[in-house]
Amino acid sequence: MLVDAFLELLNLWVLVAALVGIVSGIIIGAIPGLGPTMAIALLIPVTFSMQPIPAIILLLGVYQGAIFGGSISAVLLNVPGTPSSAATAIDGFAMARRGEGGRALRFALYASVIGNIFSCLVLMALAEPLARFALDFGPAEMAMLMVFALLVIVLFGGGSKLDALIMVLVGACAGIVGLDPISGTPRFTFGSFAFENGFQLIPVLIGLFAMSEVLLQAFDREPLVGDAEVPPLKSSAVRFVELWRMRMTLFLSSLIGTFVGILPGIGSTVPAFMSYSLARSRSADPDAFGRGAPEGVAAPEAANNAVTGGALVPTLALGIPGDAVTAVILGAFMLHGLAPGPFLFRDHGLEVYAIFQALLLSSIPTVILGLLFFRVAIHVTRIQPRHLLPAITILAIFGAFSVNNSLFDVWVMLGAGVLGFLLRRANFPLPPLLIGLILAAPFEQSLRQALLTSGGGYGIFVGSPITIGLVALTVLSLAISLFFSLRKPRI
Amino acid sequence: MRYTRRSTLALLAGLAITPLAAVAQQEYPTRPITLVVPYGAGGTTDISARQMATMAEKILGQPIVVENQPGASGTNAMRSVASAEPDGYTLIATTSSPSFVTPALRDVGYDPQADFIPILNYSGPFHGVVVPANSPYDTLDALIEGAKSGAVTYGTAGAMGGAHLAFASVAKDTGAMLQHVPFDGASKATAAVLGGHVDAALVPAYRDLVQDGQLRLLGVLDGTNDPDFPDAPTLKEAGLAVEFPSIVGIMAPAGTDPAIIAKLESAFTEVASSDDFETFMTDLGQPVRIMSGKDLAATIQENLAAYREIAKDLGN
């Protein structure tokens, strides 16, 4: 199986897809203000006509490239392309001001690759066993798992818990539109046939993450990056010994990234800051952190790259995405006929293992292209996003239309764009909204299926070891969150 | 500058879906034919329709472009083809659900009988009644008898699908307590029966799981036996008064010139009866079931009436 999957990768188109993905990811990620979620959302429609393997590899390449690209603008300009590279910017920018920008970027690059390889190995080890186990996840287990997932997003997603809760509920309300999953009758469709299908994920995604960015930039004339001097980039190198010295930091950060990634809905910002603090507290010289410590760059980068592999575990095994990016990738999997769940590995094992191996091997082109792009990247970071807005708009409209060849989806995309714009201006986080929208329909369906099979008895939600474990986890998370909020002095 | 690559891809994709300009009217077909598939790319309906298209374009001498219009269990695509120009250049490869199940339940914006001319039926997956291998039920009768003393749950691919309606009618006729649990797609219903979360499932694509011994096949919902499992009875053979015939056929909008319909029927029938097509479908795990346009029309008419009755009984 592994060899067959590897042979699938020996194809010119797979290589082209990986390279195109990584390069466009690095470039998009390096532009301040444009992040990996938007890059993937925009590129999904481009992959429609491709074979599943190159299509997914292209999207994962974009993601990996964009995460690294984000650290370029974080290090050189102190403008993190994504919230998850905010932790990288602390020490990275300090190093860059000292003239060590090149070294900081190399540390970021190598740490990213190590985080990615680590989490990918965990993914390969865990996803298939978990998928087998997925047969034991009946409606009641799925319902409790989703309660836990939604709770985790609200409690530990960072930022205001109330904001996150509101966003999850807005997403869930949008998820109600369409055919009732149990009785099959139309709900909130206002007699329109187009609404019967509900709001499609991909147009909503493109609207929320790409169109809203266009509107935000169009109305917000303040440029993200002024004409600030970019610190000089001296030629430099990172020796293997230096990485070896921080092996424990890299290992622990990758571990945090991977396992926080497995928890649904948290995303990569929290683990990046978690591993930054851990690296500082373990360091012999904690005062160096914040003033340009290489470990301060390596720790968050290893963690935020490790999140992808971890987040793909529940996404592929159970169909529950770990964060906004895996939600987008989930959409791409479904679109290419690779439905997550217990049969994914049986029916599409070849494709899935080829994709895993590509994720692992793509570290090689990422390092090569990353090193090549340092010099170019300085120029890329000076690109004003406003020059790209017309192109993004066209791609967004084209992409939304091409999902179902339906104009209705274009209106949904534009509506989601305006909504996303308003919410972002009001500082509401968008990922909880997306997860709410994705999980609302399956949660409702699982809950009602469970009640149908139990004849209306609620005992089914604590009727198996899995549900009891999930209920315990839910209660534990609530308790932890309550404990910390009570201990924190009120301001 | 960094957008050149993406814009080019977008442009190329745009060009690919632009229909070529019509040329002067000669003998049909003079330009590419569009075959609409009401489901997403990569599903069995899509794959078989694409094979049909590839093989038929050699006979018809014009390319056949498959266009996926998924959504709303196929009714979106049916509605758009119903209102397409009846010139023989827009056809649809459709299935049971948008042809006679959903239209029996609610207004879908088209009339499956008046708005379409069936050209032929070429496939249709068998739907089986399956139970886990350790289930106490060995036969369809035992399952129904069991459901008389206590509720038996069964999963299907979705609410108000053909399989659900068929069993709802069985429950009504026999007084059995058959509790429907709708899933989001047949594979999830299959997973639920394998995991023992429901007592039975009415799903297609059961062959490998039954041969593996993980599931037991009690019967089929179709009008005829599954050739892979000739011992599994149809519902009628088991003494029940319903069936859920599964169709996959090609239809044209009403008003299409009969000469064009005849030409298409002969071309598609030639493809469907070829050995190459049979081999392809076997690899896909799908049967080849050829029915003329007239027979397909009769099947749709008959089942539409039957399903309207069932839907009425269910209180819709």
Q: Which helix (H) or strand (E) holds A447?
A: helix A431-453
Query: What ranges do the domains of chain B cover?
Result: 33-125+246-313, 128-220
Q: Record the tokens describing residue A374, joined without a space.
A: 């340092």
C-beta of residue A23 within 8 angstroms of C-beta of residue A377: no
pLDDT of residue B216: 94
How far apart, in Å, are the Cα atoms of B220 and each of A290, B26, B152, B178?
69, 47, 18, 17
Per-chain mean pLDDT for chain B? 85
Q: Which of A139, A402, A404 sits opposite B197 (nearest CB)?
A: A139
- The two beta strands, B200-203 and B152-156, are parallel
Contact check, Cβ <8 Å, B3/A398? no
**Whole-number Å distance between alpha carbons of B252 and A194:** 23
Contact check, Cβ <8 Å, B13/A402? yes
The answer, for A182 touching chain B at a CB cutoff of 8 Å, is: yes
C-beta of residue B112 within 8 angstroms of C-beta of residue B300: yes
pLDDT tens profile B187-214: 788 889 998 999 999 998 888 889 989 9
- List beta partners, residue A187: A178
Q: Which of A28, A45, A135 sits opposite B191 (nearest CB)?
A: A135
pLDDT of residue B177: 92
pLDDT of residue A234: 64
Q: Shortest CA distance to A328 belongs to which of A45, A124, A73?
A: A45
Which is more confidently placed, B160 or A382?
Answer: B160
Residues of chain A found within 8 Å of residue B109, distances taken between Cβ atoms: 193
Q: In the structure, what pLDDT confidence band is assigned to residue B179 with cuts at 50, 70 and 90?
A: very high
- The two beta strands, B64-68 and B33-37, are parallel
Contact check, Cβ <8 Å, A343/B42? no
pLDDT of residue B3: 53
Residues of chain B found within 8 Å of residue A52, distances taken between Cβ atoms: 42
Across B289-301, average pLDDT: 92
Q: Which residue of B has its CA nearest to A137?
A: B195
pLDDT of residue B25: 44
The answer, for A337 touching chain B at a CB cutoff of 8 Å, is: yes
pLDDT of residue B261: 92
Contact check, Cβ <8 Å, B158/A445? no
Mutate to test the interface with A, among B1, B5, B6 (most CBs of A within 10 A): B6
Which residue's entry shows tokens 């060995």? B138
Which is more confidently placed, A77 or B224?
Answer: B224
Q: Shortest CA distance to A251 belongs to which of A307, A288, A305, A303?
A: A303
C-beta of residue B160 within 8 angstroms of C-beta of residue B101: yes
Other C-beta atoms within 10 Å of A266: how many?
Answer: 24
Residues of chain B found within 8 Å of residue A139, distances taken between Cβ atoms: 181, 192, 197
Rounded percentage of chain A residues whose pLDDT exceeds 70 = 92
The answer, for B188 touching chain A at a CB cutoff of 8 Å, is: yes
Contact check, Cβ <8 Å, B195/A48? no
Q: Which helix (H) or strand (E) holds B117?
A: strand B116-123
Mutate to test the interface with A, among B2, B18, B79, B156 (most CBs of A within 10 A): B2
Hey, which bits of A161-283 come out as E strands?
178-179, 186-187
Rounded percentage of chain A residues whose pLDDT exceeds 90 = 13
What are the start-end ranges of the H helices in B156-292? 162-174, 186-194, 207-211, 258-272, 275-284
pLDDT of residue B20: 42
Q: What residues of chain B, 54 to 73, have a C-beta less than 8 Å from chain A?
A: 67-72
Contact check, Cβ <8 Å, A406/B76? yes
Say if the ipTM goes beyond 0.85.
Answer: no
The third-level CATH classification (topology) of the domain covering B33-125+246-313 is: D-Maltodextrin-Binding Protein; domain 2 (3.40.190)
The answer, for A452 touching chain B at a CB cutoff of 8 Å, is: yes
Q: Which residue of A has its CA nearest to B194?
A: A135
C-beta of residue A144 within 8 angstroms of C-beta of residue A136: no
Sign of the C-alpha dihedral, residues B214, B215, B216, B217? negative
Rounded percentage of chain B residues whose pLDDT exceeds 70 = 90
Residues of chain A found within 8 Å of residue B151, distances taken between Cβ atoms: 455
pLDDT of residue A391: 84
Mutate to test the interface with B, among A452, A461, A466 (most CBs of B within 10 A): A452
Shortest distance, CA B266 to any CA of chain A (angstroms): 30
The answer, for B247 touching chain A at a CB cutoff of 8 Å, is: no
- The two beta strands, B178-182 and B116-123, are unpaired
Dihedral of CA atoms A81, A82, A86, A91 in degrees, nearest 10, equals: -50
Q: Record the tokens describing residue A483, joined without a space.
A: 């404990």
Shortest distance, CA B191 to any CA of chain A (angstroms): 6
Cβ burial, residue A190 (10 Å; 0-12/13-18/19+): exposed
pLDDT of residue A98: 83
Q: In the structure, what pLDDT confidence band is assigned to residue B1 with cuts at 50, 70 and 90?
A: very low
Q: Record the tokens describing residue A254, joined without a space.
A: 């990758």
pLDDT tens profile A403-436: 777 788 899 999 999 999 999 899 898 888 888 8
pLDDT of residue B260: 92
**Whole-number Å distance between alpha carbons of B212 and B214:** 6
Contact check, Cβ <8 Å, A398/B14? yes
The answer, for A482 touching chain B at a CB cutoff of 8 Å, is: no
Which residue's entry shows tokens 């190093």? A95
C-beta of residue A243 within 8 angstroms of C-beta of residue A249: no
How far apart, in Å, are the Cα atoms of B163 and each of A418, B182, B184, B203, B313?
41, 10, 14, 8, 16
Residues of chain B found within 8 Å of residue A441, distances taken between Cβ atoms: 184
Contact check, Cβ <8 Å, B69/A193? no
- List beta partners, residue B219: B129
Say which range, A106-115, A401-410, A427-436, B232-241, has the weakest mean pLDDT: A401-410
Q: Record the tokens describing residue B65, joined without a space.
A: 């472009």
pLDDT of residue A230: 61
Say which range, A22-31, A314-323, B296-305, has the weakest mean pLDDT: A314-323
Per-chain mean pLDDT for chain A? 83
| Fold match between domain B33-125+246-313 and domain B128-220 | yes
pLDDT of residue A93: 86
pLDDT tens profile A267-283: 777 888 888 888 888 88
**Whole-number Å distance between alpha carbons of A100 and A111:** 16
Q: Which of A193, A343, A402 sits opposite B72 (nearest CB)?
A: A193
pLDDT tens profile A254-270: 999 898 888 766 777 78
Across B69-84, average pLDDT: 84
pLDDT of residue B131: 95
Q: Shortest CA distance to A159 belongs to which of A41, A265, A257?
A: A265
The answer, for B15 touching chain A at a CB cutoff of 8 Å, is: no
The answer, for B105 touching chain A at a CB cutoff of 8 Å, is: yes
Q: Record the tokens describing residue B232, joined without a space.
A: 């599994």
Across A439-448, average pLDDT: 89
**Whole-number Å distance between alpha carbons of A409 and B122:** 32
pLDDT of residue A268: 77
pLDDT tens profile A369-385: 888 877 777 777 777 77
Highest mean pLDDT among A282-291, A308-317, B61-70, B79-88: B79-88
Cβ burial, residue A393 (10 Å; 0-12/13-18/19+): middle
**Whole-number Å distance between alpha carbons of A444 and A450:** 10
Contact check, Cβ <8 Å, B72/A182? no
CATH assignment of B128-220? 3.40.190.10
pLDDT of residue B266: 92
Angle at B93 between CA B87 and CA B99, to 5 degrees: 100
What are the start-end ranges of the H helices in chain B? 4-17, 44-60, 75-82, 96, 102-105, 140-149, 162-174, 186-194, 207-211, 258-272, 275-284, 293-313
**Whole-number Å distance between alpha carbons of B60 and B268:** 9
In sequence order, what DSSP letters do the residues of A11-53 get, joined into one string?
SHHHHHHHHHHHHHHHHHHHSTT--HHHHHHHHTGGGTTS-HH
Angle between helices A52-77 and A344-361 (to 10 degrees): 40
Shortest distance, CA B194 to any CA of chain A (angstroms): 7
Other C-beta atoms within 10 Å of A86: how many?
Answer: 20
pLDDT of residue A40: 82
Q: In the structure, what pLDDT confidence band is assigned to residue B4 with cuts at 50, 70 and 90?
A: low
Name the residue type at position B223: G
Other C-beta atoms within 10 Å of A10: how many?
Answer: 8
Q: What are phi and psi of B98, to 5 degrees?
A: -80, -10
Say which range, A143-157, A233-247, A354-368, B112-126, has the weakest mean pLDDT: A233-247
A215-243 burial, b for 16+ CB within 10 Å, e for fewer?
bbbeeeeeebbeeeeebebeeeebeeebb
The answer, for B96 touching chain A at a CB cutoff of 8 Å, is: no
Contact check, Cβ <8 Å, A182/B159? yes
Q: Indicate the DSSP class of residue A159.
A: S
pLDDT of residue B26: 59
The answer, for A191 touching chain B at a CB cutoff of 8 Å, is: no
The answer, for A186 touching chain B at a CB cutoff of 8 Å, is: yes
Dihedral of CA atoms A152, A157, A161, A166 in degrees, nearest 10, equals: -80
Chains A, B: CB pairs < 8 Å: 126
Shortest distance, CA B176 to any CA of chain A (angstroms): 15
Contact check, Cβ <8 Å, A406/B183? no
Length of chain B: 316
